[in-house]
Amino acid sequence: HVLLEGPTGVGKTTFVLTFAKIFGLSFRRIQFTSDVLPSDILGTNIYNLKTGNFEFRPGPIFANFVLVDEINRASPKTQSALIEVMEERQVTIEGKTYELEKPFIVFATQNPMDYAGTFPLPITQTDRFLMKINIDYPSKEVEQEILKTGDPRELIPYLNQQMTKDELLKIQQEVAKVMVDDSIIDYISEIVISTRNNPSIKEGLSSRASIHLLKCARAKAIIEGRNYVIPEDVKEIFPYIASHRVICDIPECDVSIFLKDFIEKIPVPR
């Protein structure tokens, strides 16, 4: 699952719509507002007058790609409705469990916390996002290119599918086979434990975060044509895994700068 953060109108939603199109997977979008209820996301039991029974009506969470737009505009109660489904990939309604189809990926967008009408995500939820990607305002050159080509969303229908669902699932299986030396395991362990023991960090990385860091390092190795992980894979992917999890305990802390300095102090295996 991926958390996308940035100001309004920089392409966060367009980014996810593009992904859904090129993978050709089922896609649903949920616009979070302060009045959205958990049942609006997960689904609910509806009484069928013809049969005299209650029937489950799935919510929009039942899709391969789910875009949760402006996740931090919903109340904490509604945000917490995503916790089970993101971790277990299943929905439980009135004691009955419904499995979600694989692959299941949540892309959530959020505005910076200084925007009015936003609620901070609970730590239990942010930890379930594999990574966080910041999407900032484009450069002047990119802005000019956007103006020349027009609204990017209008181009999405013309994109061709690049991968099938089975191909995506196969790649996920291949990632798990990427070789990892014991020195890499030790490196990741040292990074994670150091975040927990650092006096400048109020909230360090969980064991789930270390698993996510290893998974992403393996994926990066595959992308670069290798079947083994190197320390640079871990080092490069670390900020994306840690930025939404680590909470600084120092005034006016810029997490991105802090993490960049932090990772440089961890000895790299040779």
Domains and CATH numbers, the chain: 1-162 (3.40.50.300), 176-270 (1.10.8.80)
130: which DSSP letter? S
Q: Report the alpha-carbon distance of residue 226 to residue 228 in Å, rounded.
A: 6
| Coarse DSSP helix, strand, coil percentages of the chain, rounded to the nearest 5 percent | 45, 20, 35
pTM, full prediction: 0.87
Give the residue carrying structure tokens 């061709």.
Answer: 160
Radius of gyration of the chain (CA): 20
> pLDDT confidence of 131, banded at 50, 70, 90?
very high
* Integer angstrom CA distances of residue 151 from 10, 11, 133, 145, 154: 12, 10, 22, 11, 6
> pLDDT confidence of 16, banded at 50, 70, 90?
confident
Q: What percent of the chain has pLDDT over 90?
A: 55
Q: Report the alpha-carbon distance of residue 261 to residue 76 in Å, rounded.
A: 32
